[in-house]
Structure 1
Amino acid sequence: MAKDTSASVNRRNDIISAAIDVFAEIGYYRATTAQVAERAQISQPYIFRFFKTKEALLLCALEVSWTRLIDSFRIVVETATADQLENELIEAYEEILESHKNEILLQMQAQTIKEEDIRQAMQKGFTEVRDMVLEAFTTAGIANPKQKTLMFLAIGMLCNVSKSLDMPELMDR
C-alpha cells in the first residue's frame, strides 16, 4: 500500500511539474489539461484524480513556486551576515531564476489573472516574501529597511522582465 501512495505522490508531482512548464510556455488560458497530461505522459482524466479543475492545478503550481522561493530566502535570512544579506538574497533569487525559470514565468503570468483565488495566492506569496525581507533587513540594522525592501522587490521584478524578454542589458549595473 505504501508503494501505491509513493507512486501517487510522484505522479502528482509529475503533473504539477508538467503544468508549470505548459502554463509558463503557452499561458494559463491557452493551455489545456490535455497538454499538461501529454507533457506528464499520462491520460488527461488522470489529472482530475488529483485536481478538480485547471485552476486548482494552477494554484498548486503557484504554491510550489512560492514555497521554493520562500524556502530559499529563509535559508539566506537564517545564515547570512548583515553585510552579505542583500547580496545573498539576490544570488538566491538569481539561482532560482536560472534553475526554475518557468516557475518565475508562471508567477509573472499569474499576476495578470483576475480570478480571486489566484489573486489571493499571488498576494499571499508577495506578502510573505516582502515581510520576510523587510524583517531581515530591519533585524540586520540595514538603513531604511522599507525603502531597501521596495528596491529589492523592484529589482527582482526587473530581473523577471530581463529574463523573460532575453534582455540581460536591463540588469547591467
Structure 2
Amino acid sequence: MVTGKRMKAEDRKVLILEAAMEEYGRSGMHATSTEVIAERAGVSQPYLFRLFGTKADLIAAAIEHHTTKLRRTFREAAERRDPDSSPLEAMALAYIGFMNDDVNSLRCQLHTWAAASDPAIKDVAQRTYREIWEDIATLSSASADEVRDFMAHGMLLTILAALDLTELYGDPLAVAKEF
C-alpha cells in the first residue's frame, strides 16, 4: 500500500476483494480469516465489516469481483481476436492465460463450485456461472452444444491446472484451435 497519499475508497475496496479472493481461494469459505484479509489489504477488520457487512457478504463480493475479471477477459478476447480465429478460440486462449496469470482466481472458482450447496454461496455461484455461460454464448454466437463443450473443456483445464497436471491436456494452443 502506498504511504503518504490517501488511497481512494474504490481502490481500497479492490485491494480488499483481491485479498479476500486470495484467502478464500487458499482456505475456502469457513476457514477464511477476515483478520488476515484485513491485514493483507492494509485495513482494519472493523472497516472491512463496515464495507461488506458479514464474511459471507465479503466472500460473495470477492466471487463477483473474480467473475467480473473473467467476463472482461472473455469479452476483450472476443473483441480483439485475430480475424482468422473464432471467438471461442480467442476466449479459450484467454482463459488459459487467465489461469496461468491468476492462480487466486482459479482457486476462487474451485472453492465456489465446491461450496455451491452452502446457502451463503449458492445464489452467487449460480448467478455468476450463468452470467459467464451467457456471455460466452452471446460473444461467440455459438450453439448450445458448442457452449457446453467450451465450458466442459474449461472445467477440465481448471482441474488440471489446479492439480498441476496440465501436460495431460496436451498443447493448449492446439486445443484452443479446436474451437
Q: Percent identity?
A: 27
Report the secondary structure of 2:70's partner residue: helix
Tell me, which stretches of 5 or more residues in structure 2 are unaligned?
A: 172-179
My pick for the range that moved more, 9-18 or 128-137, is: 128-137
For each residue in 1:66-102, what CA deviation from the matched residue of structure 2 results, as whole angstroms up to 9, or x when unmatched?
1111112122333444743222111111121122221
Distance apart, 1:47 and its partner CA: 1.2
1:126 is aligned to 2:126: no
CA distance in 1, matches of 2:27, 2:120: 21
TM-score, scaled relative to structure 1: 0.84
For structure 1, the 5+ residue unaligned runs are none
Distance 1:37 1:124, change over 3 A: same
Q: Kindly tell me the number of residue pairs found equivalent between the two proteins.
A: 165
The structure with higher relative contact order (CA 8 Å, sep 6+) is 2
The one of 162, 165, 169 equivalent to 1:164 is: 162
TM (norm. structure 2) is: 0.81
CA contact (8 A) 2:78 2:88 kept: no
Q: Which amino acid aligns with 1:37?
A: A
Q: Which residue of 1 aligns with 2:90?
A: 88
User: What does residue range 93-172 of structure 1 map to in structure 2 within 5 Å?
Assistant: 93-113=95-115, 114-138=117-141, 145-172=143-170
Q: Which amino acid aligns with 2:30?
A: Y
1:14 corresponding residue in structure 2: 15
Distance of 2:105 and 2:85 partners within structure 1: 29
How far apart, CA to CA, are the structure 1 residues paired with 2:128 and 2:84? 24
